[in-house]
Amino acid sequence: MRKHIVAGNWKMNNGLIQTETLISELKQQEKTSDAEVMIAPSFTNLWHAFEATRQYDIEVVAQNMHFSEKGACTGEVSAGMLKSLGIKTVILGHSERRAYYNETDQSLAKKVDAALANNMRIIFCFGEELSDRKAGRQEDVVEHQIKAALFHLNASAFEHIVLAYEPVWAIGTGETASPEQAQDMHAFIRKTLENTYGKNVSESVSILYGGSVKPANAKEIFSKPDVDGGLIGGASLNAEDFFAIVNAF
Ligand code: 13P
């Protein structure tokens, strides 16, 4: 069902000690909103983070995974390995992985299938580059990314999928999509879902916005009707800032 979600993507930040410190600071924050809270530490800190948040309303999720279950894939981590730690959700398709680690629509479709086969929830990321937006083709790009990786699924699979629209030009740049730009794209994404899967699916999938969300702009972005939450990079590395965003709902 459609829910408010605020997820912190820590990216390649925080060693073990910093992870311990940030989690203990997160535990001291007061949550006043109904948003589900997630954090995505690096693989090496997942187990510690999972253990440290056991009694708390914070879900620990992974930033990526391989589509194979096991085998000769040096440096990779499978869905089964994540599940063996108790991890139930994985971020897939982040623009940094698409841009720097060769993730394609085809490999993402395989990762989606592998995650679902392991009963995992997916936060599926996509978004256009600046050149796409300048050329006015942002909707075509987003539609293609979603359809290529997800539209082979049946409707019930969408119970396990959260979408995250992250325009590449707004990631880590301090430049946020305006609340209206975010709303327009989220409405377009929902319409795209509705056209193939019907309103039951389109109205029940949570669509997050990501890209320079900060305490100062979160409330306005989250006030838009089709924005169900945020995927937060930089601001998720500070406990007070992150919870200010969580509490912006
Ligand atoms: P920033 O919030 O640092 O722009 O990062 C967004 C992001 O990429 C989250 O996945």
**Which is the closest atom of ligand 1 to the Cα of 172?**
4
Q: Which of 65, 57, 3 is nearest to 31 (CA)?
A: 57
Q: How far is the CA of 163 from the centre of ligand 1 (A)?
A: 14
Task: Determine which one of 4, 59, 66, 94 is catalytic.
Answer: 94
CA of 230 to the centre of ligand 1 (A): 9
Per the annotation, the verdict on 160 as an active-site residue is: no
Ligand 1 binding pocket, CB closer than 6 Å? 9, 94, 166, 171-172, 210-213, 231-235
Contact 176, 224 (CB under 8 A): no
Which neighbouring-strand residues pair with 155?
none
- Cα distances (Å, whole numbers) of residue 66 to 45, 97, 103, 124, 232: 18, 12, 11, 14, 23
Residue with the nearest Cα to atom 9 of ligand 1?
Answer: 233
Catalytic residue flag (residue 94)? yes
- Mind listing the pLDDT tens digit of every residue in the chain (249 residues)? 799 999 999 999 999 999 999 999 999 999 999 999 999 999 999 999 999 999 999 999 999 999 999 999 999 999 999 999 999 999 999 999 999 999 999 999 999 999 999 999 999 999 999 999 999 999 999 999 999 999 999 999 999 999 999 999 988 887 788 999 999 999 999 999 999 999 999 999 999 999 999 999 999 999 999 999 999 999 999 999 999 999 999
